[in-house]
Amino acid sequence: MLKNAKTKLAIVLIITGLIGILSIGITTILILENITLEANIETIKQSILKIEIILGIIAIIYVVLSILIGILISKKIIEPSEELINAAEENVKEVSMQKKQMETMLLHMTDGILAFDMNGKISLTNPAATRLLRIMPEDDTFDKIFGKYNINVNLEKVIYLENWTSTAQRVAIGDNYIYIFFAPLRNEDETPNGVIVVIQDITEHVKLDNMRKEFVADVSHELKTPITSIMGYADTLLEGEYDKETQEKFLNVIATEARRMAKLVTDLLTLSKYDNDEDRTRKVEFDLGELVKACQEKLQIEIQKKKHNVECFVTANIPSVYADKDGIERVVLNIITNSIKYTQEKGTIKMYVGYIYNDAYIKIIDNGLGIPEEDLNRIFDRFYRVDKSRTREMGGTGLGLSIAKEILDKNNGSIDIKSKKEQGTEVVIRIPIKK
Ligand code: ADP
């Protein structure tokens, strides 16, 4: 366009130039024709002057005309063309930037995206889609990709879906759960142009949902057992005449079961408190050695009942720790209680308090029943007990260690358990030292 304009301008200037030269020629000839042989110097001079004046006028007209034509052409053609070219260049830049943005988005998106043309051939894909649907290089059509899974969707069905509607399917691929949305792709005039598929990984979501369901089932089950006992014994007592001894026996069962329910509810409340209160644990500076000794004092009656030999060794000069003191006390009480409960009478329980680098630690070692290896990685799960009937008998809820782990996580600490069946258990708790 611009080149064209330049040529036009050159042609116009050449033509005006030619007209100018032509007029000069004609005028010169006309004037020279008037000069006769008899003409004197004066007349010749006059004629030359005339020629000069005419030449001057023509030159001025030529210059003025050229300027006017130049201005006109640049206003009418060149400027708009330049604007057009600039705008087009901008557009190209923007489009390529948008393309780049789109590519980056597709590359890093956690959701998978696939597009298919009307023949079901793949026209666009991103790494997430390849990973989630396990697409192989040879899988290049709708049928090859989705034929592997049990999905009752086909290309035609999606292409001719109503406007703005989509269809979705949930599938399990290996250990993963994915959600697949299918939507028709349309041209500007609304004619079908293919299919867009969005793939979401919902594995975590499904797992959490299952955990929640399991948790509700566990809680109901845990509450149901003591309630059944309480109701059974209470009804028996109400219905018959029993001697004092039997009555006492039944009432004892009722009281024990009620206490267990109360403990379960307290533990559940504690768990939910730690689940919800992200940062509201009140941290203070305290001495871990003193806390462990105080916990041992509190459990003296239980220790004496089982005639255990308990020793506590505290390293000198342990720096203070900075943590939620009530929470840590709860953890220590739970670990010592476990050692007391799961160790036969006259057992040995040793406790060590010390520090390494930036952590203070408590090590509690018993020579009790121990935990079988296959149960070790599950003991931090909510409600997990190694021997259900035995532990329940001992008043355990199976929540103690999961609460302990939760509390230590919130305090940037850790808990590790080593154990050998029938030999004993070693629990190590670490808590950061105040800097
Ligand atoms: P519980 O309230 O039932 O004691 P915990 O979460 O504290 O629940 O413990 C989970 C399970 O781990 C217990 O039921 C028990 O079987 C096992 N366990 C914990 N500590 C010990 C230990 N010191 N010795 C043997 N088994 C233990």
Q: Which atom of ligand 1 is nearest to the CA of 384?
A: 10
Atom of ligand 1 nearest to the CA of 386: 16
If you measure from the C-alpha of residue 372 to the centroid of ligand 1, how many angstroms do you get, rounded to a whole number? 11
Position in ligand 1 atom list of the atom nearest CA 385: 14
Q: What is the mean pLDDT of residues 341-359?
A: 94
pLDDT tens digits, 46-95: 878 887 888 888 888 878 888 888 788 778 877 888 889 999 999 999 99
Ligand 1 pocket, residues with Cβ under 6 angstroms: 334, 338-339, 342, 366, 368-371, 379, 384-387, 391, 396-401, 425
Query: What is the distance in A from the centroid of ligand 1 to the CA of 425?
Result: 10
Q: Which atom of ligand 1 is nearest to the CA of 403?
A: 6
Ligand 1 pocket test, pick from 259, 331, 338, 385 with the greatest ligand atom count within 8 Å of Cβ, gives 338
Q: Report CA-CA distances (Å) from 167 to 77, 198, 260, 279, 369.
A: 54, 11, 50, 42, 56
Q: Calculate how far, in angstroms, residue 203's C-alpha sits from the geometric centre of ligand 1.
A: 30
* C-beta separation of 351 from 310 below 8 A: yes
386 CA distance to ligand 1 middle (Å) = 7
How far is it between the farthest Cα atoms of the chain? 173
Tens digit of pLDDT for each residue in 114-152?
Answer: 999 999 999 999 999 999 999 999 999 999 998 888 787
Residue 396's nearest CA partner among 250, 263, 251 is 263
- State pTM to two decimals: 0.63
Q: Which of 137-151, 163-177, 362-376, 390-404 holds the top average pLDDT? A: 362-376
Distance 401 CA to ligand 1 centre (A): 7
Q: How far, in whole angstroms, is CA 403 from its chain's centroid?
A: 27
